Amino acid sequence: MVTDPDDHCALRFSRNVLADGAVTGKGLSDLIREEFGFRVTFFLMAAILVVNLGNVMAEFTGVFWASETFGVSRFISVPLAGLLVWAIVVAGTAKWVERIFLSICVVYLSYVVSAFFAKPEWLIALLHLLPPQLMHYIPTVRRSCKSPLQRRLRDHPCRISGNHHRTMATLLPASGRG
């Protein structure tokens, strides 16, 4: 299913490959083999296969978790999603299938809208793009923890001492442990 922004990039890449194929009369692997040789072509094609398999697994994992959220069994939802994708690909033309999958990608615009509705502290959100090693030296980020639980997690001794046997329950107050 092409519901991921990365899939859109893959579609654009495949369009370029189609254009190259239309001009030269050769496929992607032929063009790579001519330029770089058999070994490089083999490993690149194996990498493309692994990436595509990972992408398919990620999409069906998303179907699994989304259906479980709504109380639908994964043993029903995942095969139905597979059949739906198969039916769309087999029954439709390339242009029709591309339009359907790209229209599904519009759902990802809701992430942007949700970000504005959440009203985060944008400066802190941008600072969290920095590597964790640098976060220690930025005082505004260390003071940004507002709730008692966030402060306990921030100052948790497991980070310093390597004491991994403590759990999240030990950080909660006794009244909050249930």
Which tens digits make up the pLDDT trace of 32-49?
Answer: 888 899 999 999 999 999
Mean pLDDT across the chain, nearest whole number? Answer: 77
Rounded to the nearest angstrom, the gap between the alpha carbon of residue 120 and the centroid of all alpha carbons in its chain is 21
At residue 121, the pLDDT reads: 83
**Could you tell me the residue ranges of all domains in the chain?**
5-112, 120-165
Q: Which of 7-11, 62-66, 70-74, 172-176 has the lowest mean pLDDT?
A: 172-176
More confident residue, 140 or 67: 67
CA distance 121 to 144: 9
Q: Residue 50 region, left (φ>0) first, then alpha (ψ -120 to 50), else beta?
A: alpha
More confident residue, 95 or 2: 95
More confident residue, 116 or 21: 116
CA distance 109 to 112: 5
Torsion 160-163-164-169 (CA) sign: negative
At residue 161, the pLDDT reads: 43
Closest residue by Cα to residue 138 from 129, 147, 146: 129
At residue 139, the pLDDT reads: 64
CA distance 157 to 154: 9
Q: Report the percentage of the chain scoring pLDDT > 70.
A: 70
Contact 135, 141 (CB under 8 A): yes
Rounded to the nearest angstrom, the gap between the alpha carbon of residue 139 and the centroid of all alpha carbons in its chain is 31
Q: Is the pTM of this model over 0.85?
A: no
Contact 163, 157 (CB under 8 A): yes
